[in-house]
Amino acid sequence: MKLRLKVLIGILSVLIVANAAWVIIDIRKDIQINRELVQKELKVNDQIILDIYKNINQLNGKMDKIPANIQYAKIKLEKTLQQVNVMILNTTLGATGSGVTLKYKGKFYILTAGHMLDKEDDNLILSENSQKICELKVIKRDYSEIIGEGKGKDLMLLAPKTLTIQPRYYVELADMEPSVGTEVYIVGNPMTIEDVVSEGRVAMYTDDFMYIRDSIYFGNSGGGVYSLDGKLLGIVSHMQPMQPFVEIPPFIIDGIVRLNEIKEFLRSVI
């Protein structure tokens, strides 16, 4: 009896040890599998981190180029606006002004201020780099003497008498008028200095005019005011002094024929 019991205990012991061994083996297998999975996941995470750093470095490289790209685009736009700007001479009056090359209904025109002409027989000349290019003829003119009161008209459309004269650059009209506070470009020929580019902001509107704050002077008349993407917003007309007291220097704002007036003026041109 005792012998049988010992044999039974021995068999149970072997089974327990064998079972424990198999359990240990399974645990080790699980540990190994988990270790491999963890290592694989770590490798995947490492690759993700490397990709993130790579993308960040690429973005940083692009961001570093942004200021240079913006500066280049600005210079390119200013050069284009200078090409659109022209100088107009009224040799009868001995006066100079500015104009804008415009393509309207498939034809080339020069848009300028109406007060560049005093009488119908005044001689108007297109000039560039101090060279007289050709005579100009009046296609349409709309001018009123009451512009100093914020109302009136001050536009004139010209064309070269020499039909072979064709500009390389044209300006396009903007789709809508800018809101007050909007930044704008102004290009003209103050005091016969050609193609001067300056920046300003829209200050206010009246019935026919947009007023801006900028360094406009004699010779800018007829020059263009443009949006920051190079579209025509208005034509320089006059300087408007605002002086509450005689003893105080006047505050000068610059009157610009507004976009809506330009569109209305051109509507009847065939």
> How confident is the model over 181-233, as pLDDT tens digits?
999 999 999 999 999 999 999 999 988 899 998 888 999 999 999 999 999 99
Per-residue pLDDT reduced to its tens digit, 102-135: 988 888 899 999 999 998 889 999 998 888 999 9
Instruction: Assess if residue 113 is contained within a domain.
Output: yes
DSSP track, 18-71: HHHHHHHHHHHHHHHHHHHHHHHHHHHHHHHHHHHHHHHHHHHHHHHHHHHHHH
244: three-class secondary structure by DSSP: coil
266: three-class secondary structure by DSSP: helix
Which of the 8 DSSP states describes residue 177?
P
Instruction: Assess if residue 162 is contained within a domain.
Output: yes
Domain count for the chain: 1
Which pLDDT score, from 0 to 100, does residue 120 have? 87
> What mean pLDDT value characterizes the chain?
82
Residue 121, CA atoms < 13 Å, CB-side half-sphere:
0
Which pLDDT score, from 0 to 100, does residue 222 have? 96
Say which CATH number the domain at 176 has: 2.40.10.120
Alpha carbon separation from 208 to 138, 143, 148, 189 (Å, rounded): 22, 12, 11, 23
Instruction: Assess if residue 193 is contained within a domain.
Output: yes
Is 0.75 surpassed by the pTM of this model? Answer: no
Judged against a pLDDT cut of 70, whether residue 69 lies above it is answered with: no
Which pLDDT score, from 0 to 100, does residue 242 have? 82
Which pLDDT score, from 0 to 100, does residue 22 have? 55
Lowest mean pLDDT among 54-68, 153-167, 231-245: 54-68
Whole-angstrom Cα distance, residue 109 to residue 224? 14
Burial class of 202 by CB neighbour count within 10 A (0 to 12, 13 to 18, 19+): buried
- Give residue 154's domain range: 83-266
